[in-house]
Amino acid sequence: MSSIYKHIKPDIETWPIYTFHKDKELFIKELNEFVFNRLKQNNHSFKDLLAKSIYLENQRVKLTPWKVDPPDEQNYWKELSVELNNIIKNTESEDALDTIMMRMINRYNTEIVGDFTPKTYRFARKFLTSLFKRLYNKFNDKKGTFFWGDRELLSTKLKVFGHVEETRQLFDKGTVLIVPTHFSNVDSILVGYVLDMIAGLPAFAYGAGLNLYDVEIAAYYMNRLGAYRVDRRKKNPIYLECLTSMASYSLYKGLNNIFFPGGTRSRSGAIEERLKLGLLGSAIEAQRLFIANKSDRKVIIVPVVLGYNFVLEAKGMVDQFLRVIGKEKYMRSKDTSISFGDRMRFIKALFTKNSDMYLSFGEPMDVMGNRIAADGHSYDKNGQKIDLVDYFRLEEDMSEDPQRENVYTKLLGQKIVESFLKNNVVLPSHLVSHVAFKIILKYRKDLDMLSILKLHPSEVQIPVFILKTVLISAIEVLNEWEAKGKIKLDEVIKVGNLDQIIAEGVNACGTYHGDKVMFIQDDQLCTQNLKLLFYYHNRMEGYNFSDELDWSKVKEFSFVEK
C-alpha cells in the first residue's frame, strides 16, 4: 500500500509558488528586461526582428483567431505595423525600435504569466479529493461505503514509488523541476494532485495551452492555479524568446515547475526517448544564472514515470502514430474522437478495482545528470563531490556559451531517458500485452507490422500455454534486471504467480475501451483490436529484451481462425 506523506509545508501562504505570484508585477518587469537583453545580445538591430514578428502576428489574427484573444488584438497589430513602418521610413531610430520591442515583450509576458490564489487552490483540492473518493467507492463493492468512499483508500489507487523522500528533503535546497512522462491529457491534473495530496509537496507551476482558456470554467481555475499560458499559434521569434525565458528565469527566481520533456503525449504508447531540448535548455540556463550570481542553489531535476493500465486517448493517438510511420500505406480509422461520455467512462474506469495509477520518482539530479544527495551537493558515479561552477566557467568567464549549453542539454536529455527506463514500474498489463504482440510478430514474419495490424482480430488467437512459456522467460529476465536496478516491477510480477499475472494483465489492460484489448476464450488469448494491443505493447518497447526470451514454442502452433 502506498503511503500518504505528511505535507512538508502545510500552510499554503509559505509555498514558493504563492510568494512568487505575490510579487508578480515585479517579476514581469524583471522578465521584460531579461528578454530584452537576450534579444539585444543576438541582434544588432531590432528592425528585421520586429518586422518579421509583427507580420506573423497580423497573419495569425486573420487566419486563426480564438475567442480567448484580447478584444483589441487585430487593431493592436495593425497599428503597431503602421507605427513600425513610419519609424523605418523616417528615422530608423534605435530608441524608437527599442520602445516598440519593450511594448511587445511586456504584452507577451503579461499574457504568459499566470496567478496563484490560495482560496481557489483549497477549493480545487477539496473538490478533486471528493470526486476521486466518490469514484473510488468501487461502485458495486458492498463492503465499501456506497457514496463517498475513503480517502485512505485513494493511496492504493494513486501510488507513489521511488525517491519521494529524497525529493521532499531537497525541496528547500534549490528549485525543483519535475519532468514526467506524458501519455494522456489527464496527466497534469493527476500529477498535480498526487504531488500535493500523496507526496506532500507544494504546488508547481506548469504550462497550459492557451486554447484551453476558451472554456470559461477551465480558464477561471487555470488562471488561479499557477499555470502559465502557452500559445502554440505564435511562432514569431520574440514570443518564443519570451516563452523560453519565462521557463528559465522563473526557475532562477525559485518557481518550482513541471515540464513534460517529451513536449506532447506519447503517440505510440512508448516511454519517450526523444525529448524537447528547448525546455531542458531552460534548466541549464537557470543553473548558469545561479552560478553567475554566486548562488549555491541548484535546479533539482526529478524524472517521474507515470503508469496507467489504460489511456483515454489511446485509440486516436496510435492512429496518429501509424499515419506518420505508414504514410500512404496506412488507412486512417473512421472514428477516434472522444466524447463527453468517453471521458466519464474513463474516469469511472480509472478508479475501479482493476486499475492503478502510479508516479515513480527517479533519483534527483542536477542539470548535468549527477546525483544530488540530501545535503544538496552533487556527486559523480564514484561518489566524488562535484562543483557545478567548473562546468560553466572558462577561465574566469561565466558568460553564455550556446554551443556548450546545447551539448549539456543533450546529455541531460539522455540522463532523463535513462531514469525513465530505470524507474518505470512494469504492470501485468504492460508485460502481457508486450509478450502477446511479440508472439504475433514472431509467428507472422511473412508480414510487416502494418500488414499485421490489418489482419482481422479473429486471425490472431494465441494458445495460453504458448503465452505462458514466453512469459516465464520474460519474468526471469525482468527479475534479473530489477536486481541490477535496470527496471522496477509491480508486486504481482515479483511474486511470480503466472495465472495471476495473466489474469490481472488481461483484465486491466485497456479496461476503459469498448473493444477488449485482450481476453481469454477456449484457452486462447484473443483481442478485438490489434492497434490497441500494439499501443499497449509499446510501453515496454524501449528495453529490447526480446532476444533473451524463449521463443521455441512459437514455431509449434498456427493461428486458428475463430
Cβ neighbors of 533 (< 8 A, separation 6 or more) are 433, 436, 437, 517, 518, 527
d(CA 282, CA 12): 27
Axis crossing angle, helix 187-197 with helix 118-135, rounded to the nearest 10: 100
Summarize the confidence of residues 16-38 as an average pLDDT.
95
Cell numbers at 499, concatenated? 495465472
Rg of the chain's alpha carbons, rounded to an integer?
26
- CB burial class (10 A; 0-12, 13-18, 19+) of residue 547? exposed
Tell the residue number behind the cell numbers 511587445, with chain if given. Answer: 104
- Amino acid type, 493: I
Which residue, 279, 137, 103, is CA-closest to 205? 279
Which residue, 266, 305, 311, is CA-closest to 421? 305
Percent of the chain past pLDDT 90, that is, above it, reads 61
**Least confident span in 51-55, 204-208, 417-421, 485-489:** 204-208
Summarize the confidence of residues 381-401 as an average pLDDT.
83
**Least confident span in 143-147, 275-279, 439-443, 500-504:** 143-147
Percent of the chain past pLDDT 70, that is, above it, reads 88
- CB burial class (10 A; 0-12, 13-18, 19+) of residue 185? middle
Residue 170 DSSP class: T
Cell numbers at 393, concatenated? 566557467
Would you tell me how many other CB atoms lie within 10 Å of the CB of residue 116? 23
Could you read off the pLDDT of 314-362 as tens digits, one per residue?
888 999 999 888 776 666 665 556 566 666 666 666 555 556 788 999 9
What is the reported pTM? Answer: 0.90
d(CA 109, CA 38): 14
d(CA 462, CA 526): 7
Could you read off the pLDDT of 507-546 as tens digits, one per residue?
988 777 878 999 999 999 999 999 999 999 999 998 988 8
Would you tell me how many other CB atoms lie within 10 Å of the CB of residue 79? 11
- The widest CA-to-CA distance across the chain, in whole angstroms, is 85
Cell numbers at 87, concatenated? 519609424
Which pLDDT value is given to residue 435? 95
3-state helix, strand, coil in the chain (%, to 5): 55, 10, 35
Which pLDDT value is given to residue 131? 73
Summarize the confidence of residues 268-279 as an average pLDDT.
89
d(CA 288, CA 472): 49
Residue 394 DSSP class: B
At 473, the pLDDT band (50, 70, 90 cuts) reads very high
Summarize the confidence of residues 55-67 as an average pLDDT.
94
d(CA 281, CA 284): 5
Virtual torsion, Cα 387, 392, 396, 401, nearest 10 deg: 180
Which pLDDT value is given to residue 347? 63
Cell numbers at 295, concatenated? 548562488
d(CA 72, CA 207): 24
